[in-house]
Amino acid sequence: MRRSLLALAFSLAGLASPALADGQPDVSIAGRWRIVAAERAPWASGSAVPTPFLRAGIVFRDGRLVGPHPIACQPADYKLIMMPAEGLFEGALPPERAVALGERLGVVGPGETVTHRVTCPNASFDFHRATDSVSLKIAIDNVVYTLRQPDGDGESLTDEAFVAPATPSFACSRARTTTERLICDDAEAARRDREMAAAFERLRPSLSAEGRGALLEAQRTFLGYRDRQCRSGGAMPREETDRRDAARCLAEVTGARADLLTSMAVQRAGSLTIEPRITTRWERRESDDDAIRSLLMDDVLPVASGPGAEAFNRAVRIAVPTGRPLDVALYRQRMPDLIGALTRSYAIALADARLVSLLVTGTVETGTRVSPTMRAVTYDLTSRSLAGPADIFRIDAAFRSFLAARIAAHAQERNRTADPADMERRMLEPDLWLYHPDKAVLMLPWLGVDMEELEIPAADLKPFLKPGGPWRPVS
């Protein structure tokens, strides 16, 4: 069928340059590209055509072309061609309108068009350099696709995984809002949207009715913040750079939300069921330069149900005051012109029939700056009270000497300075000790700006454990 995928294989006598050495792609296209846009070709009939390759990846490697079937082969041979308007898209443009249509498609400018031809055993594919100098164009089955090199898109993926089309959590054929359309046009935003939706749907059924209600309300608040922060709640931006900035913002903000939801899980500890309870709010101000000054605040704390839950919840509220998103030291960093996020969340290190040990982390993010604070909370399920080192260890001279030696060695390894008086005063503070099944972690905030963590194997601590104490580490 004319102008089908296989019909992309063609040659124009005298136009091809010699093959690049050893089948290597030109340095200007080598690496990964993503199909970010698709439009009906001007020679196609009808009002709509399928776009199956939209958001798929294309990878140009030495001797091979990686992409969705059938845009893939090995070996692959690369050539550079200077193509006149009449030869673009296998000569499909009407000769009398080739220049005008080529200009509209963004592939015809002054002079001939740089074309990267990839020759495979059974077909050839022409990728035309667009006039914006950052895009490529290829025609497949009456559709002109636009490719761009992604910005951090799927860096951890293999080439084969990268080429799979990045689809969001909704059908792009039914995208109506500006946010949805921007997400559909950006592979990274689509991937992160799918991750966020999957994390939300995984978490929701595991929560209590009250927890599900809190999660839904928090998510609605977040989506409102995201649309305002990324300027995607109104009309589609006219400029390409503005659309790309909005899509990048959507990918970053949605990705952070996906990571937060993924970290949330319901856990069992003795007779308790401990679930994450999230509260989300945001503040917004307008400045003189019309820049949005906004602050997203997420607060995720554990809430228990079951026998003894009231005592656990009361103890957590005492250890981690609620009523504001973060503790006082962190909250004071909030400034009138702050653009960023405050997040408080927790992770359970140990939850067994006797002890729950969790780490509450508060983070301020402003641009590239991340300022964390950490506080451990340990709860004895038997005594129904908070537990500190004095409840777990025999606090005697031998134990203090053991800790002092470990802290001094840790400080020396990292070229830190430990104040003996400060160390002696703080090394037994309950909120600096986190317990795991096979180790304890002592946080050392006095060694520097960043929180240092000293891991001590359970085997080294067993000689100091109180008989019958709440921490029963594995051997």
Mean of pLDDT values over 19-26: 66
Q: What secondary structure does DSSP assign to 207-274, as a single string?
A: S-HHHHHHHHHHHHHHHHHHHHHTT-SSSPPSSHHHHHHHHHHHHHHHHHHHHHHHH---EEETTEEE
Note whether residue 297 is domain-resident.
no
What is residue 5's predicted lDDT score, i.e. its pLDDT? 35
Q: Which domain holds residue 432?
A: 391-464
- Do 147 and 17 sit in the same domain of this protein? yes
Question: d(Cα 217, Cα 299) in Å, to the nearest integer?
Answer: 13
In the numeric block, which tokens belong to residue 147? Answer: 């490719």
Note whether residue 103 is domain-resident.
yes
pLDDT grade, residue 76 (50/70/90)? very high
- Do 188 and 148 sit in the same domain of this protein? no
What is residue 3's predicted lDDT score, i.e. its pLDDT? 35
Peptide bond into 302 cis (omega under 30): no
- Do 96 and 223 sit in the same domain of this protein? no
Instruction: Report the candidate in 357, 345, 352 with the shortest Cα–Cα distance to residue 442.
Output: 357
What is residue 457's predicted lDDT score, i.e. its pLDDT? 97
What is residue 162's predicted lDDT score, i.e. its pLDDT? 87
What is residue 152's predicted lDDT score, i.e. its pLDDT? 63
pLDDT digits (tens, 9 = 90+) for 208-244: 999 999 999 999 999 999 998 888 888 888 887 888 8
- Do 56 and 200 sit in the same domain of this protein? no
- Do 242 and 134 sit in the same domain of this protein? no
- Do 10 and 146 sit in the same domain of this protein? yes
Mean of pLDDT values over 395-417: 91
Residue type for 397, please? A
- Do 34 and 153 sit in the same domain of this protein? yes
> Looking at 46-55, 243-252, 380-389, which range is the least confident one?
46-55
Q: Please, what sign has the CA dihedral across residues 87, 92, 93, 94?
A: positive
- CB atoms < 10 A from the CB of 370, how many? 11
pLDDT for residue 475 is more than 80: no
User: Where among 244, 264, 284 does a domain terminate?
Assistant: 264
Note whether residue 96 is domain-resident.
yes
Note whether residue 349 is domain-resident.
no
- Do 191 and 146 sit in the same domain of this protein? no
- Do 154 and 187 sit in the same domain of this protein? no
The answer to whether the pTM exceeds 0.85 is: no
- Total number of domains in the chain: 3
From residue 115, give the alpha-carbon distance in Å to each of 77, 78, 90, 99, 294. Answer: 14, 10, 12, 16, 45
- Do 10 and 159 sit in the same domain of this protein? yes
